[in-house]
């Protein structure tokens, strides 16, 4: 049974079209990953599904409630953790959670009990009675995630839950999220980290410029790239453009250059070994020295390139709070 149904969702902010007809369906008890670059429309989708924003057109039902007409009833059964840790830094962890519990209209006793549970579970019991402003970035995120669970939501929305976290905190948070899902919560998660969607989501929808351009399991999406990917790194970064010019034409569908790492990747279909040899030969002929060359299974990064013709921008995201979400698409 579908717990989230979205049909033809549209939303514009002035001239900017944030959602250009989004359709989604999420089955109860699954994890759905909304994957796409900044500005693709992920946050706008989440804001509409959590009643924070009205769509211009289209229909959206969550847990059977219409997100516009039955917003009030819907708010009882959803939980939301946005990009910024939406906690009060002056309240202790426990006070933050109890406050959210009270705002879900739980009794004081019940709010206190659930706050205690969440603190235990998210490994915050020791810091429970310290003001949240003394918490580390990872602890704040865990507290924020915990706050979204105090109401025991049927459907949980996590908007870029690990953006801005260091790798260790990210791994910890992934564990927590996986455990949640085992207990049957339906989760819709947005991310611009391809690896994250791969690790957490049962079904992934790739969004780009306000549209869903592909959906399927991670494996299905990878299969769309077809076969393997040839990855090349040259020793001298200044010669990357030259090297790209020599070998990008090799694969059936071109390839791309990652400007951050200088890595050149080319989907090669089933013809990997021959093309690898050919690439080595061409680079050798140009006198370009190789640092690394390999054939690998495609990542979702490669998928995005294959689907959109442009790379998923994995530009460094600004730190928490500086990205203003209120009027942004």
Partner 1 sequence: MSVARTPLAERVRWAIHDGFVLTRRNLIRYRRIPTLLVFSTVQPVMFVLLFRYVFGGAITDLPPGAEAYVNFLMPGIFVQTAIFGATQTGIGLAEDLTSGIIDRFRSLPTARSAVLAGRTTADLLRNLFVVLLMTGVGYLVGFRFQEGPILAALAIGLAVLVGFAFSWVSATIGLAIGELESVQAASFVWIFPLTFASSAFVPIEGMPWWLQAFARNNPVTIWANTMRAFTLGETYVRAIGETMGGLVLRSGLWIAAILAAAVPLAIRIYRRT
As a dihedral over the C-alpha atoms of residue 44, residue 63, residue 35, residue 47, rounded to 10 degrees, the angle is 10
How many CA within 13 A on the CB side of residue 134? 10
Cβ distance to partner 1 smaller for residue 111 or 283: 111
304-323: contacts with partner 1 (CB under 8 A):
321
Q: Which residue has the tokens 């294959």?
A: 306
- Nearest distance from C-beta of residue 268 to partner 1, angstroms: 44
Contact 98, 119 (CB under 8 A): no
How many helices (H) and strands (E) in the chain?
Answer: 11, 14
For residue 195 the two structure tokens come to 């690896």
Q: Which residue has the tokens 């996986």?
A: 178
For residue 15 the two structure tokens come to 């001239």
Q: How far apart are the first and last CA of the chain?
A: 30
68: contact with partner 1 by CB under 8 A: no
Strand order in the sheet with 65-66: 16-27, 2-13, 57-62, 65-66
- Nearest distance from C-beta of residue 140 to partner 1, angstroms: 11
- Nearest distance from C-beta of residue 226 to partner 1, angstroms: 41
90: contact with partner 1 by CB under 8 A: yes
211: contact with partner 1 by CB under 8 A: no
Cβ distance to partner 1 smaller for residue 70 or 123: 70
- Nearest distance from C-beta of residue 96 to partner 1, angstroms: 9
For residue 47 the two structure tokens come to 């804001």
1: contact with partner 1 by CB under 8 A: no
Measured CA to CA, the distance from residue 20 to residue 9 in angstroms comes to: 7
Of 37, 55, 82, 298, which one interacts with partner 1 (CB under 8 A)?
82
274: contact with partner 1 by CB under 8 A: no
Contact 269, 226 (CB under 8 A): yes
80: contact with partner 1 by CB under 8 A: yes
Which candidate, 72, 75, 65, places its Cα nearest to that of 157?
75
103: contact with partner 1 by CB under 8 A: yes
| Choices 88-96, 116-124, 180-188, 237-245 (CB under 8 A): range interacting with partner 1 | 88-96
Helix pair 300-308, 218-225: axis angle to 10 deg: 60
Of 52, 59, 257, 290, which one interacts with partner 1 (CB under 8 A)?
52
70: contact with partner 1 by CB under 8 A: yes
**Interface map 130-159 toward partner 1 (x if CB under 8 A):** -x---------------x---x--------
Of 44, 83, 191, 299, which one interacts with partner 1 (CB under 8 A)?
83
Write out the residues near partner 1 by the rule CB under 8 A.
47, 50-52, 70, 72-73, 75-80, 82-88, 90-91, 95, 99-100, 102-105, 131, 147, 151, 321, 324-327
């Amino acid at each position: 049974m579908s717990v989230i149904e979205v049909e033809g969702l549209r939303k514009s902010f002035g001239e900017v079209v944030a959602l250009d007809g989004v359709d989604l369906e999420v089955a109860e008890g699954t994890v759905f990953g909304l994957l796409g670059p900044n500005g693709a429309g992920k946050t706008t989708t989440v804001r509409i599904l959590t009643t924070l924003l009205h769509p211009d057109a289209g229909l959206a039902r969550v847990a059977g409630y219409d997100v516009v007409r039955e917003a009030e009833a819907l708010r009882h059964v959803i939980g939301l953790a946005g990009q910024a840790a939406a906690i009060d830094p002056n309240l202790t962890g426990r006070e933050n959670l109890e406050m959210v519990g009270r705002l879900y209209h739980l009794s004081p006793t019940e709010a206190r009990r659930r706050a205690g549970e969440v603190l235990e579970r998210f490994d915050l019991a020791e810091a429970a009675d310290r003001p949240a402003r003394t918490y580390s970035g990872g602890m704040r995120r865990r507290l924020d995630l915990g706050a979204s669970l105090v109401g025991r939501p049927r459907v949980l929305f996590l908007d870029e839950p690990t953006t801005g976290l260091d790798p260790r905190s990210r791994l910890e948070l992934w564990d927590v999220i996986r455990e949640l899902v085992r207990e049957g919560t339906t989760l819709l998660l947005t991310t611009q980290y391809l690896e994250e969607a791969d690790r957490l989501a049962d079904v992934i929808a790739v969004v780009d410029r306000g549209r869903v351009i592909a959906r399927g399991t991670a494996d299905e999406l990878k299969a769309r790239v077809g076969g393997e990917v040839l990855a090349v790194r040259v020793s001298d970064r200044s010669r990357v453009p030259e090297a790209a010019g020599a070998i990008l034409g090799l694969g059936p569908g071109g390839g791309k250059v990652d400007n951050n790492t200088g890595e050149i990747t080319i989907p090669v279909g089933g013809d990997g070994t021959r093309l690898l040899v050919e690439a080595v030969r061409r680079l050798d002929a140009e006198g370009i020295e190789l640092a690394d060359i390999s054939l690998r299974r495609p990542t979702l990064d490669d998928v995005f390139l294959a689907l959109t013709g442009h790379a998923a921008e994995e530009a460094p995201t600004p730190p928490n709070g500086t990205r203003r979400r209120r009027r942004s698409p």
